[in-house]
Structure 1
C-alpha cells in the first residue's frame, strides 16, 4: 500500500456521473464510461453504495484477483437481496474451492473439442432459419435470426425437451430478465419466472437420473465431487444441482443473441466492412471478436472486497461492492486505438468480452462458434444489407446491453 491514499471521486446528486439504474445512463452508457475513465477511474456512488472501476488494466487485474474480489454476494448489480441468484449452485456467484469443483463437473461438455463437434448442427440451424427469409428483402435480423439460433442450439446442448414446452422456456428466459427502469429490485414477473424455471429444471434432472442421455443435464445429475454425488436424492428447485443447471441456462442464450445482434447492426452501419467479409470470409472471426469488444453484452459484473485494496492510489475498504465495468474497459483508448469505432480490420488484441480469470465465461467457445457460423452462413447465402429502422434495446438487467430488433433490407 502506498503512503498517500486519495479519496475516490464521489458522485454529486446534482451531477451524476455513473448511475446504471437511470434512463439517462442507459440511453448512452459509453459517454459516461469515457468520463469515468478520464475523471474517476476509481469511483464511489453514495446513493447505491458501490465503487466502480472502468479502465482496462484495473478491471482486468480485479477479475484475476479472485482472493480480493469475491463473488459470494452475486455478480448482478441489481437484485441486492439475491432473490434470483442466492441459491446454491449458481456458478458465477460462488468462490473457491466450491467454484472449481462445480465447474469441473461440467467442464468436459464445454471443452473446445466438444464444442467444435457441434459445428454441423449449428450450421443446420442457421440454414433452416435463413431458408425462412431467403426470398425476403426486409428481415428483422435479430428477431428472426440472432435470437432463435442460441435458443435452438443451447436447448439441444443442455438437453431441453422439444415441443411446446420450449415456448415456456422462451417465456421464462425473457421473464427472468424483466426489470423496471430506476429500480434495483426484481419484478414479480422475474420472481415467478425464476421459480417456475427452477422447478422445471429440477424435474428434468430427476428425469435424467432415471433416463440418462448424452447431454449436460445428465452430466450434472451423474457428477460426483470428492466421491459424493452432486445431486441429492430428492432434487428440488433449491438444490445445488438445480442451481448449476439454472446458471448454465442463463448464460447460454442472451449473451450469444446479443453478440450476433450487435454484429449485424454494426455491419449494417459499416457497408465497407460488410463488403470486406464477402470479399474475404477469412475475416469473419475478427468480426466476431470486434463485436464482443465493441459492445460487450455483459457490460458490468459485481464483486465484494475481502480486504482493503488500493487501486490507482484510492483505497477501497473491505466488504464493499465493486462494479467492474467490462463495457468501459473494452473501450479504453489506452488499449484500443479508435476504441469507439467498430472496425473488423483492427489489429486483434485481448479483450474482456467474456471476462477473465476464475470466472471467465464457461460457455464462450459455444457462443463464439454460434456467432461465427451464423455470420458465415449469412455471408454465403445472402447479400449485403442496411438498416431500415432504429434497432431496439432488449429489456434486461442493468448489467447488460442487448438488442432484440435490428430491421434490415437486403440488397
Structure 2
C-alpha cells in the first residue's frame, strides 16, 4: 500500500523530466508530507525524502548496496571497475584507502595558496568589466584547474580536450535513461586517455596523484595491472575521481553566487563580515545540494511508513528533499547564508560520504573571499540556465551578473 492512495492529486516525482528541475521544492515537500516512501512506476524505483529516513538509509551500507550504481540513468555504466561510488565492502574500503589520505583536510589545506591564486587570476580577468558570466568565467574554470592540477593532468590542448569530454560525458536527452552517442564516445575517449596517462606515470613518475595511484598497492598487491587499459580497475578509480571532482564543486559555486545575487542583504553582510563565509558554504550545500539524489539497491525487504520495499529494489535517497525537511530545518525552503551551522546531507554521510568534500568546501570558501570584495554589490543580469546533466545533478552553466567595478 502506498501513502499516496486517497489523494485526488497524487504526487509525481520524475527527475528525468527537465521541467521538474526548474523548481523541485514543491514536489519535494509533497513527497515528504504525502509519500515519504514514494514509488515511481515508470522508472521502477522507490524514493525516500525525509531527513531522518534518508540519513538512516545512506548510513546503512549493509541494507542498501552500491553495486548497481548510484544513478537512475545509465551513468552507472560509465565508471567501470574501481569506481568508488559503485563499490561495496570489502573492496570499497580497499580502493578508497588508496586515495583517502590525499583528500583529508590536512592534505587539502596545502592547496590553499594555489586555489587563491587561481581564483584571483580568474576574477582579475573580468573585475574591471562590470559584467560577467560567473558560471563560465569562475565557477567552472576554478574546479577544472585545481582538480586537474591535483591529479597531474597536462596543460594546454590535452586539458581543453579533457574538459570537452567531461561535458560530453553528461550529455543526456530528457525523459531517457540511455546514454547518448556523445556521452558514449566521451566515455570511451576519456577512459582511453586516462589509461595512457597512468601508463606514462608508471614510466615517468611525478609528484602528483596519478603517480601515487599507479604506484599504490593493497595488502602488498599492486593496484595497477601489468598492462593498463581502459577496463582496468585503476582506470575506474581515476575516472570516478575525474567524474566527481568537477561538477559537484561547480554546482556548489553556481548555487552560492546565484543565491547571493538574489539576496543582496546577505551578500552585503558577508562582504562586511567574511568570517560568515564558511557557514554560507554550508547553506549552499543544504539549499541546492549538488548531488540531489543517490541510488542504492536494497539487500533485504524493508518496511517504512507502511510501505514495503522489496529486496532488490532500486531506492533513491533524495538528498535535495531531505535538506529541505522542515522537521529538521527552520524556514527550510529559504536560502539564508547567515544561518547558524546546521547538520545537512550535502555530501552524504557514512561509508560513501563524499571523498572530495574538503576540497570543494575550500574552493567555495576562497572563491567567496576573493570575489565578493572585488565585485562589490552584484546582481543577476539575465537568464540563468541549469547545466544539462544527469537526473541527480544540480548546477548552472549560465549565470550572468552585473556589478560595481571592484578593486584589488
Whether the 8 Å contact between 1:10 and 1:46 is mirrored in structure 2 is no
Q: In the alignment, is the contact (CA less than 8 A) between 1:17 and 1:35 conserved in 2?
A: no
Q: Is the 8 A contact 2:115 2:366 kept in 1?
A: yes
Moved more, 304-313 or 147-156: 304-313
The answer for the alignment partner of 2:289 in structure 1 is 296
Aligned-pair RMSD on alpha carbons? 1.6
The question of 1:315 aligning with 2:308 is answered yes
The answer (yes or no) to whether the contact 2:11–2:30 under 8 Å persists in 1 is: no
Over 3 Å counting, the alpha-carbon distance change for 1:229 and 1:10 in structure 2 is farther
Deviation at residue 345 of structure 1 after TM alignment: 1.6
Q: What CA distance in whole angstroms lies between the structure 2 residues aligned with 1:145 and 1:11?
A: 49
Deviation at 1:83, TM superposition (A): 2.7
Stretches of structure 2 lacking an aligned partner (at least 5 in a row): none
Distance in 1 separating the partners of 2:163 and 2:269: 35
CA contact (8 A) 1:75 1:93 kept: yes
Aligned equivalents of 2:357, 2:6: Cα separation in 1: 35
- Give the deviation of 1:380 after TM superposition: 3.3
CA–CA separation in structure 2 for the residues paired with 1:320 and 1:83: 18
Alignment of structure 1 residues 270-309 onto 2, 5 Å: 270-309=263-302
1:18 aligned partner: 13
In 1, Cα distance between equivalents of 2:168 and 2:248 = 16
Q: Distance in 1 between matches of 2:178 and 2:26?
A: 25
Q: Give, in whole Å, the separation in 2 of the partners of 1:325 and 1:192.
A: 30
What's the TM-score, normalizing by structure 1? 0.96
Q: Deviations over 1:164-214 (max 9, x none)?
A: 111111111100000000111110100100110000000000011011112
Alignment of 1:193-232 (within 5 A): 193-232=186-225
Contact 1:9 1:44 in 2 (8 A): no
Q: 1: CA distance between counterparts of 2:93 and 2:328?
A: 31
Tell me which of 171, 178, 182 is aligned to 2:171.
178
Runs (4+) of structure 1 moved beyond 4 Å? none
Q: 1:106-148 CA distances to partner (integer Å, 9 max, x unpaired)? A: 1111111110000000000001111111211011111111110
CA distance in structure 2 between the partners assigned to 1:108 and 1:22 by the alignment: 39
Q: Kindly indicate whether the alpha-carbon contact (under 8 Å) linking 1:71 and 1:92 is maintained by their aligned counterparts in 2.
A: yes
Could you say what secondary structure the match of 2:61 adopts? coil
Of residues 20-29 and 374-383 in structure 1, the stretch that sits farther from structure 2 once superposed is 20-29
Aligned residues, how many? 404
Q: Deviations over 1:191-240 (max 9, x none)?
A: 10011000000000001101111211111111111111111000000000
Structure 1, gaps ≥5 residues long: 1-5
Residue 251 of structure 1: SS of its match in structure 2?
helix
Q: For the Cα contact (< 8 Å) 1:9–1:42, is it kept in 2? A: no
Aligned-pair distance for 1:25?
Answer: 1.9
1:379 to 363, 372, 381: 372
- Give the TM-score taking structure 2 as reference length: 0.96
Shift of 1:16: 5.5
